[in-house]
Amino acid sequence: MADEQNNTATQLSRPSLNLPAVVALSNMNLNNTTPAAAATVLSNAASAAPSTTSTTTTTSTTSTAANPTALDRISRGMYHSMQSSGKLKISAELQVEFTADDLRDLGEIGRGSFGTVNKMVHRKTNTIMAVKRIRSTVDEKEQKQLLMDLDVVMRSNDCPCIVQFYGAIFKEGDCWICMELMDTSLDKFYKFIYESLGDRIPENILGKITVVTLTALNYLKEKLKIIHRDVKPSNILLDRRGNMKLCDFGISGQLVDSIAKTRDAGCRPYMAPERIDPARAPGYDVRSDVWSLGITLMELATGSFPYPKWNSVFEQLTQVVQGDPPRLTNSENGNTFTQQFVDFVNTCLIKEEGSRPKYRTLLEHEFVVRWRDEPTDVAAYVADVLDKMASNGLHYTYDSYNY
């Protein structure tokens, strides 16, 4: 009961988001905005619709017109002209007012049930970006995930290991979210290396991936009190400049006393044993993401997912919860690894949650310390692989969940 009260208090401490609020808040610096000021903006956005007493029913949700959902208001056309201009914050030094007319569409790079992701260029600054065009008819569940993702990235612009948010505007009722453009996901990247090139990812690149991902996860925990809950190769992006960034926070969860409760959020193959064991009481912490990081690194290092394909939830339960955890060795699939890397991965994959370390301990691991400090030309390596992908006719398109 106390946990439920704490959870409620935590949720109330963060003002609720809707699509109009995203646009309103994108014109504020959230890192320097007090909760009271943010709440005022959100309240104004939420109360923009006129109050009536009739009841409106849709196929996906039932709501009163006196307190309509963001979807209700947008679908009625009430925001077709609202906030048609906004502030584009490309960096601390470069911030400009913009409208949809300032953006030139370079083509679609992704598609999902929410709408499309297009590559666009801001004409005045020549900034290329990914623009997620969210349809006004997106359902409540998907809107909730989209807004959770945006809530996190809008508050994470001071973390270089998390994909950056530039701004948001409305265009004919749809919400346009402008984000940093990356070239591809690690999922597509590593599969091309192993399957098309017959090559391996060198350990120095694996080291940089480890440092970036661990740094981003620790930032979420320490600064935002958030657990990601969906760490996997497709949610780590990279570009030819050598940048690597964590993305997709749509199912991340608020930590209450360092504990998350929702059991089924995330991609099941990467879930830690404590998250899929029905015999366990609900509740887990960041060490579940540590397990997911270990599975991810093992997949990148060996070129394949460390478990055989499961045909049922029962098979997964038997192997992950009851069986031995995957173990990396010094030689895997033609690749050789230092004992430092082997020890780091296997430490992440300690089956017993209580013995698995948290971020602070892992950040002091000798493998992380080494590759945090040792110079590596990530840009040259990534650019070479991306050029080979392009020569093979592979374009850098995104899955719907990458942005």
**CA distance linking residue 136 with residue 369, whole number of Å:** 46
132 is in an annotated binding site: yes
Within a 10 A sphere around the Cβ of 16, how many other Cβ atoms?
Answer: 15
Return all residues near 261 (Cβ < 8 A) that are at least 6 apart. Answer: 3, 7, 253, 282, 283
Residue 153: which of 168, 140, 143, 142 has the closest Cα? 168
CB 343 within 8 A of CB 367: yes
* Contact partners, residue 5, CB within 8 Å, separation at least 6: none
Distance CA 72, CA 66 (A): 11
Q: In sequence order, what are the beta bridge partners of 54?
A: none
Give the catalytic positions in this structure: 230
- Contacts of residue 225, defined as CB under 8 A and 6 or more positions apart, other chains included, come to 10, 254, 255
- Binding-site residues from annotation for ATP: 132
- Binding-site residues from annotation: 132
